[in-house]
Amino acid sequence: MGLLDWFYKRSLARYLKKLFNKDNAKIGLYGPPNAGKTTLANKIVRDWSGDVLGPVSEIPHETRKARLEKGIEIKSDGATLNLDILDTPGIATKIDFEDFIQEFELGEGEAKRRAKEATKGVIDAINWLDDVDAIMLIMDSTRDPYNQVNVTMIGNMEARKIPFIIVANKIDEENSDPEKIADAFPNHPVVPISALEGENVNKLYDTMIKHFG
């Protein structure tokens, strides 16, 4: 089988899978490390099923493997969205084990292990793009939104025609500036929230139902 045939069959399989398996929308949470993806995933799962999805940490790349929570039902103003939540590892353009040593005082062995697993996690997250129905792109509203990860992810989702919402997280922090994110990407919906404090999360649920339902 030639390479073109392989790509055709793979694309057809993905299309048929999405066409005939539409009970739940598979929503991927993407973004740079420490933007708050797992905190938001835990908030969503806790609000609607009483469980949590994974641990969080101040050390980047705590999530090094994609986690999927199935069968979440979100309700708002009489509307319902049935979804599966996919919490993905942080997307990064550079992962250096020495950063773990210098910034977080990890031992060399642990730092190298984390860096190796984090690199695999980035690849895992990118591979999942073939299998999601929509994306919430999580950005840290205390940081400059014009970074390579955010710009590349938006370009990728636009090219793949994947519906997405930008989530401007960490509005509970003093130096937060969600308007800067809205100004940077004016053609896409931006919802400012604090996943940690739960601030404005109901607005996010409304937006999810509107755009993903």
Question: Which CATH number covers residue 203?
Answer: 3.40.50.300
Q: Domains in the chain: how many in total?
A: 1
**In 3D, which of 88, 115, 90, 89 has the Cα closest to residue 100?**
115
Burial of 194 (0-12, 13-18, 19+ CB in 10 A): buried
**Whole-model pTM?**
0.79
**Would you say residue 107 lies in a domain?**
no
| H-type alpha helices, 55-194 | 97-104, 108-128, 148-160, 178-184
**Would you say residue 179 lies in a domain?**
yes
First to last CA, the chain: 38
Which structural domain, as residue segments, surrounds residue 199? 25-53+67-94+128-212
**Would you say residue 36 lies in a domain?**
yes
> pLDDT for 22-50, tens place per residue?
568 999 999 998 899 999 999 999 999 87
> pLDDT for 71-84, tens place per residue?
999 998 889 999 99
